[in-house]
């Protein structure tokens, strides 16, 4: 007791003497096994009992408890290393006005039209002023990515000279060594249209675009909690744009004693002018069925009867599908997203596309599915004319007037 009191030290500890162990010849082998298991997922990691069995096959004659104690000490030492040296050191980044923006996706939830819906949210942030913009989409696809850039540059008031991305599949087809990337052709076309330079981070190096990574976390608390509730996705995106502008004025810049709005007012003068919108569609080659239908995902779109059994091109936008043939857009339909397999796919009807068919086959008018979507005036006239002989041909003649005259004029006459 006198010895420890005079030393004026912390709590005394018993010094465990070094004793030889049967595990010593196998310590390096066991440490290598633990390193291998540490790199696996939890579902595929072997237990310490399995490692003990492997050592026994190699000639180890000691107890399981000694192996378990070694594994526990090894894991504790590894955790301490990750909490200190493993975290690494980083250099703070600084940007000049108009130099760069950062882009990233996040996955959020919102109530859309009364249904809880999973959304893919595009985040764009100016690196100097830290002004940001969010826009929600049903999917992370090329057409959604291009539309997000169109809206982001519109809201931010210009185009920076450089864009910083991770290695997302909608931009990078293949990641090479170092900074070598095989960039997607459509993504390259968008970059050339807006005249900025695309730069891609190293894999698993989120700190290279730390501003947008933090913006994703901040937005989750500011905008997605509690869960937003809107009648449509368009209404949600309008609210997101308004809230982002409000947050600019309410949020301090961080490195300057003013708000984000004040710094953005300075940076906007250094941004490149926004060109016309990038026509960011994704094109698919399809063949029209004999029933004048063309299929895409869970959409069944009607096309004019004159294009039955012929090849057409579908230009897919975030909110619509445009059918193109012979270099001309022949029809356009609203895009439908059926996210659940329990839902039936939707057929988009347009009775006008079948007028050429019923002129040859007037009997199809009675039970033709597309003609169930005619205006009420035409439906009433159809019910009256079909009660007498030859009424189907008379109704076809009335409907055919739409091909030569304005539809509203024909409805008024009916």
Q: What is the DSSP letter of 387?
A: T
Backbone angles phi, psi at 219, to 5 degrees: -65, -30
Torsion of Cα atoms, 50 then 56 then 62 then 63, to 10°: 30
- pLDDT for 368 equals 67
What element of type H or E holds 106? strand 100-112
Backbone angles phi, psi at 123, to 5 degrees: -115, 130
pLDDT, averaged per 10 consecutive residues of the chain (414 residues), comes to 66 69 88 87 81 91 91 87 61 89 95 94 96 96 96 96 93 88 94 96 81 92 92 96 95 92 96 95 90 81 82 92 90 77 56 66 66 71 72 71 68 65
- pLDDT for 363 equals 64
Question: In angstroms, what CA-CA distances link 147 with 152, 210, 283?
Answer: 9, 24, 15
Q: Cβ atoms within 10 A of the Cβ of 8, count?
A: 6
- pLDDT for 259 equals 95
pTM given for the model: 0.68
Structure tokens at 405: 């005259």
DSSP 54-93: HHHHTT--S-HHHHHHHHHHHHHHHHHHHHTGGG---PPP
Closest CA to 340 of 45, 118, 92, 28: 118
pLDDT in tens, 63-90: 999 999 999 999 888 887 776 654 556 6
DSSP 118-185: EEEEEEEEETTT--EEEEEES--SHHHHHHHHHHHHHHHTSB-SEEEE---TTTEEEE-STT-EEE-H
Q: How far apart are CA 148 and CA 143, in angstroms?
A: 9
- pLDDT for 414 equals 62
Question: In angstroms, what CA-CA distances link 134 with 7, 224, 401?
Answer: 63, 11, 47
pLDDT in tens, 275-318: 999 999 999 999 988 877 888 887 778 887 778 889 999 999 99
- pLDDT for 358 equals 67
Question: In angstroms, what CA-CA distances link 71 with 20, 36, 49, 68, 389?
Answer: 17, 13, 11, 5, 92
- pLDDT for 185 equals 93
Give the CATH H-level superfamily of domain 100-270.
Ribonuclease H-like superfamily/Ribonuclease H (3.30.420.10)
- pLDDT for 86 equals 47
At 400, is the secondary structure helix, strand, or coil? helix
Closest CA to 363 of 332, 393, 329, 399: 393
């Amino acid at each position: 007791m006198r010895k420890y009191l005079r030393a004026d030290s912390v709590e005394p500890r018993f010094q465990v003497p070094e004793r030889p162990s049967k595990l010593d010849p196998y310590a390096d082998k066991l440490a290598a096994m633990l390193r291998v298991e540490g790199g696996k997922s939890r579902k595929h990691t072997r237990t310490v009992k399995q490692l003990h069995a492997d050592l026994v096959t190699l000639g180890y004659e000691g107890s399981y408890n000694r192996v378990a104690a070694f594994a526990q000490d090894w894991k504790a030492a590894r955790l301490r290393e990750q909490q200190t040296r493993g975290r690494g050191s980083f250099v703070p980044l600084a940007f000049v006005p108009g130099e760069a923006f950062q882009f990233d996706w996040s996955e959020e939830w919102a109530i859309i039209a009364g249904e809880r819906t999973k959304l893919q949210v595009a985040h764009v942030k100016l690196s100097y002023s830290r002004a940001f913009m969010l826009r929600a989409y049903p999917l992370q696809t090329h057409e959604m990515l291009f539309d997000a850039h169109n809206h982001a540059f519109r809201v931010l008031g210009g185009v920076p000279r450089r864009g910083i991305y991770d290695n997302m599949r909608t931009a990078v087809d293949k990641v090479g060594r170092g900074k070598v990337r095989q960039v997607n052709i459509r993504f390259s076309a968008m970059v050339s249209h807006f005249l900025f330079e695309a730069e891609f981070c190293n894999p698993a190096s989120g700190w290279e675009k730390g501003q947008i990574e933090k913006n994703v976390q901040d937005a989750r608390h500011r905008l997605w909690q509690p869960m937003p509730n809107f009648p449509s996705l368009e209404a949600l995106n309008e609210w997101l744009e308004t809230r982002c502008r409000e947050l600019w004025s309410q949020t301090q810049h961080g490195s300057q004693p003013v708000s984000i709005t004040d710094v953005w007012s300075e940076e906007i003068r250094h941004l490149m002018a926004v060109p016309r919108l990038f026509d960011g569609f994704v094109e698919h080659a399809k063949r029209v069925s004999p029933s004048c239908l063309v299929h895409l995902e869970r959409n069944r779109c009607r096309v004019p009867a004159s294009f039955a059994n012929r090849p057409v091109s579908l230009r897919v936008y975030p909110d619509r599908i445009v059918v193109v043939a012979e270099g001309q857009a022949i029809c356009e339909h609203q895009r439908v997203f059926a996210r659940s397999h329990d839902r039936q796919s939707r057929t988009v009807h347009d009775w006008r596309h079948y007028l050429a068919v019923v002129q040859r086959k007037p009997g199809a008018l009675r039970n033709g599915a597309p003609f169930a979507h005619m205006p009420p005036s035409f439906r009433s006239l159809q019910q009256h004319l079909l009660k007498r002989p030859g009424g189907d041909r008379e109704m076809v003649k009335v409907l055919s007037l739409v091909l030569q005259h304005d539809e509203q004029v024909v409805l008024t006459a009916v």
